[in-house]
A and B are shown apart, each in its own frame.
Chain A
Amino acid sequence: EPEVTQTPSHQVTQMGQEVILRCVPISNHLYFYWYRQILGQKVEFLVSFYNNEISEKSEIFDDQFSVERPDGSNFTLKIRSTKLEDSAMYFCASREDRGGVHGYTFGSGTRLTVV
């Protein structure tokens, strides 16, 4: 069964450093998403991406964050100047272009620890 692949599974970074989280969506999917889950809390939407641009973003997704699809396969989330409160599980997701929820699939997540 096709999977959304996220790397690394766990990343530790020092406060103030930049970090890039990588995702490889399912190959025929055209919509891409990032979600965040702070430990012990609910999963929260960060951003959606379609046709090489952001379609929606939440209040969490401020100027510290950016996304891009540099090579047509990877979908990345960059966090500039990380803060302690950025420590969380970050989930990538993708879905097909058939509308609705067809094929909406989450990756296994990247655990980011900011020290």
Chain B
Amino acid sequence: AQTVTQSQPEMSVQEAETVTLSCTYDTSENNYYLFWYKQPPSRQMILVIRQEAYKQQNATENRFSVNFQKAAKSFSLKISDSQLGDTAMYFCAFMKHVSAGNQFYFGTGTSLTVIP
């Protein structure tokens, strides 16, 4: 079974500062995908960033980057130059590489507040 753990229920950061959200996961799979999703108060699920496990290079998307440590099964999200619009719930998620269902396994989320 796949499990995703986010140990930080809540975090806050000053506007323009950098914050790192933690995520660990457990799987016996060798090939898989990892994701960070953002859920603002509207509760829509918005993809922030994605990482393929076979890629050693950490994914980056503008102000968002990840630190993927495959051996440690760790996948943290770094948000640089935090903006007020980054305030949201952030979910870490796992997906097996090949699956007829291709379902996501989500963590319990980290509520991030950006303070003006």
The chain A residues found within 8 Å of chain B, CB to CB, are 31, 33, 35, 37, 41-45, 48, 50, 55-56, 58, 89, 91, 95, 99-101, 104, 106, 108-109, 111
Q: How large is the interface on B (under 10, 10 to 19, 20 to 34, 35 or more residues)?
A: 20 to 34
Residue of A nearest to B103 (CB): A45
Contact between B91 and A43, CB atoms less than 8 A apart: yes
Extra contacts besides A45-B103, A89-B43, A108-B44 (17): CB < 8 Å: A33-B103, A42-B106, A42-B108, A43-B91, A43-B106, A45-B101, A45-B105, A48-B100, A55-B100, A55-B101, A56-B103, A100-B102, A101-B33, A104-B47, A104-B102, A108-B42, A109-B45
A31 to B97, CA, bound (A): 15
Q: Is the interface of B mostly helix, strand, loop or mixed?
A: loop
The chain B residues found within 8 Å of chain A, CB to CB, are 33, 42-45, 47, 50, 91, 95, 97-109
Contact between B101 and A56, CB atoms less than 8 A apart: yes
